[in-house]
Amino acid sequence: MPFREISAKMVQAEVTPGQRVFSQRGAMIAYKGEVSFTPNTRSGQGGVLSMIGRRVANEAAPLMTVEGSGQVWFGHGGHHVQVVELAGDTLYVEADRLLAFDGTLEQDTVFLGAQGGVRGVVRGQVTGQGLFTTSLRGTGGVAVMAHGGVLPLPVTPGRPVHVDPQAYVAHHGDVRNKLSTALGWRDMVGRGSGEAFQLELSGEGTVYVQASEEKL
């Protein structure tokens, strides 16, 4: 894994010849060595589909491809950073909360409705979250960011976790997500989180939540 947490708001990536790291544009704080940064219009390894997905989610800025030999320090907007290690599994992360990831990981763009059905669409329309999220699969490290810190919550069989959709950062494991509402349709107008909507995650894995509902 190329990432090491330097502080609550900064990670260091080891960049070696022949290996790549992808990062959000504007995330580089400093670097040392012979390192290059190139805008990546393919948005990682997800190709055109990934690019379209990120643009639909109002993310016009491409990722940066980081290559060479040296060390790079990443952070963004003073947000808290959490490194998640993958060992052959898949991490689903809100695209705007993705700071950087190992270039060995396979990236794709996932429509939230694929797991949440029509309610996944409702989540995007009403809560202000994107309809698309990013999946990263394989073995390597991922740095995600959030407001006010990141809390990993275990999801175990028979004990689902309910999360405010705007506090959701990422999840991995054998986890299904379903959006439910605690209010009637008329009551939901103008309400994007908390009392109106709850994101239920069931199965076995981990869900990462942020301490603040503020959108990145």
Handedness of CA 203, 97, 24, 47 (dihedral sign): positive
CB 1 within 8 A of CB 102: yes
Q: What are phi and psi of 169, to 5 degrees?
A: -115, -55
pLDDT given at position 47:
44
pTM confidence score: 0.77
DSSP structural state of residue 66: E
pLDDT given at position 42:
53
Q: DSSP letters of 10-42?
A: EEEEEE-TT--EEEETT-EEEEEEEEEEEEETT
Helix count (H) and strand count (E) of the chain? 4, 13
Q: Tell me which residues of the chain have a pLDDT lower than 70.
A: 1, 41-62, 111-132, 180-197, 213-216
pLDDT given at position 58:
45
Domain ranges for the chain, please list them. Answer: 3-210
CB 86 within 8 A of CB 205: no
Classify domain 3-210 by CATH architecture. 4-Layer Sandwich (3.60)
